[in-house]
Each structure stands twice: as structure tokens, then as C-alpha cells.
Chain A
């Protein structure tokens, strides 16, 4: 590095004052970003990657402060700059894209006006040409019909569109550095690809530098020149992205890479290398023959189109009136799940996969169709009555968000015991407690954690509690609704393996609802791809993912960001390091 870097972070330490004393969120971090360079900061939650970027923009919350080190941005000492100097810098020289685009936009202002605000604040336009410039900014982020969309409110746009508007906002003043904090986390894979391609193209065009903060190694490897890996507030590895993925030097980087689901590996490959000999490799059990456990035939769910009253709607409607009175979220879906089989239900948001699973789960009623479970038409039973029937025991669910799905006022033991108390046959306090402890052991939750409340548990521990609760009644079918979407990759690896083990031990069937094809591939025997409430493609996992027939499946597969990286074979270096 000969040239002076655009951004030079040296020996940065950020401290937060909390009730438990001072917490060092970032410790002695060094980051240099050259002009025109794209760097990725990768780490799991709590690694300090976001805090570092907040420090650069000096937008740490009140409890946080830069304790040590310097931040120099094109000759300006950011750590010592006054607040008004920082205001000039933010937005016009350094800009930021946040994780949730909808939350980053003001919901009651037109998107065009929001871009104008930025331009006017930084004196990049005056009253005469500001509208033109705002429209131009929208056009640059490939928003079709920018002049019309200028008048749109954020709620009228899709998530991907909103993120484009946020990018337009961030780029409006032609900054030199853009910080993107998990810019595509809430977006579908195909949208993620278009958004990331757009960011790369625009920043290259303008010779800007970009810092991409992400937990997704695949994303970082595909889009960044250099990657910085952070763990617990420290930078543990910095290398060009090609080098880091072919020869990661730090064990943590290797662990992260192993845990990232990718083509060509099995579920067991996700787990960290174990020095104590190879793990028992369990082959995938062939689905047992016989009657399918669950058969869904021509399932339909219609919702009335909600909104303003009909007369009002026709009075104020600008476009043509909608053709139908109802909206079909699920449109004639048929599939079967055999005993002991895992079926993946894949699709992007709004494809009807969650509605389908809720109907099978009997949480909501269907409009038409048949749901046969073990020879009984459970679709006929109203959802309200279903809750108290004995058959409720046999279909359980693991929820998407382990935090949201646990009552904050219940201890882990109480949460696990709840289904047993209502539907189970274990009576008496001691027996119940013993059963909870058995379940905790089964899912690998330390028994002493059973008396904790959810907020005292980590994400992985909460996921285990959720799984323990789902298997408490020994169900035949478990619906897994993106059970690992809220977890870090290394935790995801452990949870996925746990699910596989439990399935083999207890002989359950899984219906795995997910948007992540790489994860589905690892756990499922068969895959169903859905789009717009219909099934697009169905078949054995390997066939669908390696020789997709439907165009949509191909599009989904090609959108997954990855650079093919090989994890070095069971750590020869590691063994060496250990023996010396």
C-alpha cells in the first residue's frame, strides 16, 4: 500500500458504559480502505462489525465512545471533529445503507422529497433543479418510470425497491465512501443479487470505496476485493478475498467457512473439525415405504382484498380496479410427505409457503382442498377446535424466530413443559421436571439453563428450547419454519445437525419451509419450489438443485452468491500446530 488510504482506522477501541461496567465492543482494530476499493467486514453477531462502522460515522449511541485510536478520513480526524463538521461529512462524503430499508425511509414522505432533502441539506442542488436531480438519482438506481415513482411513498414499494431508494439517497451527493450494513439481509435471493450488482456497478462507475458489512461469507467473497474477519471485537484476519477463501489462516475463519452451507458437502461437514477422530457418519436413511403421512390435495387459501371501503377505493383509485375480489395466497397446491421423510418447501417471500405450512399446521383454515394426515381429513376440523384435540400432539412446529416464539415470562423449563401439561400424559411436578430434563439433554441444552428466562439465553440455546418444545409430545410431523434464519452460521450448523439427529432417533417427518436453497439441500430428501401460490417444480433434492427444469428454479439457484471455496482437508496445519 503506497497511496494514502481514503479511510484509515488505527488502533480503534470503542467502549460502552453499561450497568455491568464498561464493555469493550471493539478492541484495537486497524482498517485501511483505499480509494475505489470494496472491503467486506465479516463476522457473527456481537463481533463488533457494525459498531466499527458506527464509530467511523460517529453515530454511536450515547453510552458508547471512542476510547482509543484514530479514524482519519481523507485527512480529517473523525474522532476529534466537531459535531457540525461531522454533519457535513455524513451523507455528502461518507454515506450509509442500513439493514432494513423500510425503517430507514420516512414513511410519510414521498421518496422523491426524501432525496431532495439530502441534496438541499448538503447544498448539492438549489430549489430550481432539485426535482430534476432527485428524478435523475432514482433513474440511476434503475427504478423504472422515476418521474412517477418520485411521488410514491415507501409503503407502496417492495423491499427491493425501497433498498434501491436508500441507495439513491446514499449516492445522491456522490460520496467517496459508502458503508453498507447488511444491505440485503431481509431481501429475497434474487432481489439480493440485483441490489448487490447495482451497488457494485454504481460504486465502480464513480470510483467510490465501499465497506460491506455482512455475516454472509458467500456474499463477501463474491463482491469484495478484501475481506476483514472480526470476532469478539477484534480483527482476526485481513486478506484479499481470493486468498482468504483458498487459504484461511485463522481457525475462526476456517470454522466460519466450514459452517457456511454450500454446494457439494454434507450436513456433517458443517461442524468444526474434531480432533478426536471422525464422527460417526450417518447415511441418509431411505424414506420408508407405505402410505404417505401427509397428503395435501388442491389446497387453496383465499383472502378478501382488504383496504379502504369499496366506494372509497373506486373514488380514489388511480390505476385499473383489481379483477377479483379475493386474493389467492395458495392456489391449488398438492404434495405428499412420507413417513421419515424431509420435504423442503422453498420459495421467495409472498410465494405462499408460510400460508401453506400454517394450513397444514391447522393454525388457519383453508378455503378449499383436502389435508389428509395419517388417513384422517384434518382440513375438515376448524382451526379453533383443533387446538384441544389429541391429534394436535402429532403435528408440531419449530418457529422462525427463537426469541419471538418463547414467552419472555416463562422459563425454559416452563416453555418446554407447556405442551406436556396441556396434551401430554406426564402427571406430577417431579415427573414433568424429569421429562423436561430428558428433553433438554436430547437437544443438547445444559440442564442448569432450564430455569433461565429467554433473555438470559443465547440465540442457539433459545433455538434448542424451541426444538425441545416441538418434540416434547413425540410428534409424527414437524414443520420447520426457517428455523435457522435468525441464527449465526456456526449456530445454524449445529442446529441443523441436531435436527437431523433427532429425526433419525425419533423417526419424525419434516416439512422444512425455507428460502435458503443451500440449507434445504442439506436437510431434505425432496424439494418443492413454490412461486405465486403454485408449485413450480418438485422432485428429489439432488435432481432439483443440480438439474433444475423450471426457469424459476434456475434463477433462484444462480442468484445465490458464492465463490467456490474449498475448506482445507481435515486440518493438516491444525494437527501440526497442536503437536508442536
Chain B
């Protein structure tokens, strides 16, 4: 099999799309989660322009109305439309999740790759930082960071990123460590590449698929974390529409039978987390060479 005849070349974007289509067709659940993902992105991007009511406008005359044709998800104690608020909140929650995951990827991913590739003191420093973070209950640590730095969206993003740091650093470290002595890394050295260039052009691109799966899986956690912080009052402040606050506000009305105020934002939260976790599993199938039969 020295020189097999030239087959139709498949590479680049076309191959990725083709392979994705194959995986989605093979696995209906992944296809479903891709659909949900598209829906969430749509809600985040165009949601605020298409919702029927102003999410901040209160109308005491229609306060605490159950779901109806006019108000699909009912209204809350100030008469605000729950449906509009849930949709508008998507953008904020999605933004927090994406930003914190991007931040932790940059911090944890790079630190981990450096630790795995260089070893020695870099490895020890990164390892101990990760250990220190993991010594705290993660949510309590996130609470502490937000409480200390102040209630703002930036600080929620930072806190969520920090609590996820060990996860990224460790995965990146072990993946980089495996590739440290790989033939292609040595070959790159023979070609005159320095260490930094080897890390950036040889090692990092090869661990990206695994990191992307990890990012999708932690997106769900990041959304939960942000909502959780808001729920206990350490996050986004009312009246900003945000799923966590809405659940917190609605919780008080559960006992009196007005279930819809907490239920629908909770449902949105659940669907989002569910979607990102399924998506992570699906992405793993796409990047896992074992499935590339």
C-alpha cells in the first residue's frame, strides 16, 4: 500500500461538516442538543428585539396572573411578563457562561499546557494553585470571591472562571504531558523551533479538541454557578432579568400557588444546562478518533 490511488480529498471545513452530520445522524440525542443550542443562541441574540413586552415594565393591574394567551408564562408580582423576562435573561446568562469559560480556558488551559510541557517548577506552581482552589467547596469559594470583590457581572465571570481553573489546568497538563516527547515535537525541535513556538503551534492545537469538549461541559456548570450566585443575592441585582434572581423572587410565591414565576426561569435554566452537557457528549464523539471508523 505504498501509493494508494488519490481518493477524493476531504479536509478543512467540509470534512468537519461532513463528520458532524454523520455523528448527528448516528446519535439523535446529539442532534437534538445541537437544535437546542441553536435555539438558545437565537434567543440570546435576537430575543430582546422580539419579545412581546418590556421585561422591566411593571403593570400592577395584571400582577400575579397565571399563564394565558396574553402572558404565556404568566406575570410576576409587579405584573412583568415572565415570558419576556425569561427570553431576555438568556443573553445575560449566556454571556456570563461564555465569558467565564473563555477566561478559564485562557488561564487554565495555558497554565496547564505550560505545566505539562515544561514540568519542573512551572508544574509545581500550577499544581499547587489548582490544589489550593480545590481545597474549598467550589460554590462557597465563588461566593467569597464575589462578596469580596463586589456584586458585578465581571466579578461573577471571574469567580466562575477561578472555580473551574483546576479542571482545565489538570486536563491541559495531562494532555500536554503525553505529547511532550511525541515524535512530532522532537521533529519540530530539529526544525529549529523554540519551546514557546512548539507549545503554541504543535502542542496546543492538538489538545484543542479535548479542551473544546471540556468547555461545552463546563458551560452548563457556569450557567448554574451564575444563577446560583444571583439566587442567593450575590450576583446580578434586581430588576435585571436573570434566571437565578427570577427563581429566587418566585420562590416566595410558590407556597401561595403562583408556581409559574419560579417554574419557567427554572425550566429555562434546566434546558440550558441539559443542552450544554449533551452537546459536550456529542462533541466528544466528533473529536474522538475512536468513532472515526
Contact = CB atoms under 8 A, between A and B. Distances in A.
Contacts of B184: 404-408, 410, 415
Interface stretch (B5-13, B69-77, B84-92): B5-13
B183 A399 contact: yes
B11 A456 contact: yes
Contacts of B120: none
B279 to A, nearest CB: 21
Contact of B192 (A19, A387, A400, A415): A387
Contacts of B11: 411, 451-453, 456
Interface residues of B, number: 28
Contact of B9 (A451, A458, A470): A451
Nearest to B191: A419
A130 B73 CA distance: 70
B4 A458 contact: yes
A475 to B, nearest CB: 9
A342 B202 CA distance: 32
B188 interface: yes
B187 interface: yes
A458 B3 CA distance: 7
B263 to A, nearest CB: 42
A335 to B, nearest CB: 21
A456 B190 contact: no
Contacts of A161: none
Interface in B1-34: 1-4, 6, 9-11, 22
Interface string A474-485: 000000000000
Given A405-B184, A446-B6, A388 B194 contact: yes
Nearest to B4: A458
B2 A461 contact: yes
A491 interface: yes
Interface in B147-198: 182-184, 186-195
B206 interface: yes
B190 A494 contact: no
Nearest to A45: B1
A393 B11 CA distance: 31
Interface residues of A, number: 53
A459 interface: yes
Interface in B213-269: none
B205 interface: yes
Interface in B71-106: none
B190 to A, nearest CB: 6
A488 interface: yes
Contacts of A392: 190, 192
A64 B4 CA distance: 24
Interface in A406-462: 406-411, 415, 418-419, 421-423, 444, 446, 448-449, 451-453, 455-456, 458-461
A405 B292 CA distance: 21
B192 to A, nearest CB: 4
Contact of A408 (B187, B188, B190, B206): B206
Nearest to A390: B192
Contacts of B186: 363, 397, 399, 405
B132 interface: no
A63 B183 contact: no
B293 to A, nearest CB: 4
Contact of A44 (B1, B182, B205): B1
A212 interface: no
A458 B2 CA distance: 7
B9 A404 contact: no
A259 to B, nearest CB: 11
A409 B183 contact: no
A396 interface: yes
B56 to A, nearest CB: 48
A399 B10 CA distance: 27
B191 A418 contact: yes
B191 A469 contact: yes
A419 B11 CA distance: 23
A490 interface: yes
A453 B10 CA distance: 9
Given A401-B183, A404-B182, A409-B205, A448 B188 contact: no
Contacts of B190: 361, 363, 387, 392, 396-397, 419, 470
Contacts of A410: 184
A18 interface: yes
B187 A397 contact: yes
A275 interface: no
Given A456-B9, A469-B187, A418 B193 contact: yes
9 contacts: A16-B293, A392-B190, A396-B190, A406-B183, A411-B11, A422-B193, A448-B6, A452-B11, A470-B190
Interface of A: 16, 18-19, 44-46, 63, 361, 363, 384, 387-388, 392-393, 396-397, 399-401, 404-411, 415, 418-419, 421-423, 444, 446, 448-449, 451-453, 455-456, 458-461, 466, 469-470, 488, 490-491, 494
Given A387-B190, A406-B187, A422-B193, 14 more contacts: A16-B293, A45-B1, A387-B189, A387-B192, A393-B192, A404-B184, A405-B182, A407-B188, A407-B205, A415-B184, A419-B191, A446-B3, A451-B11, A456-B9
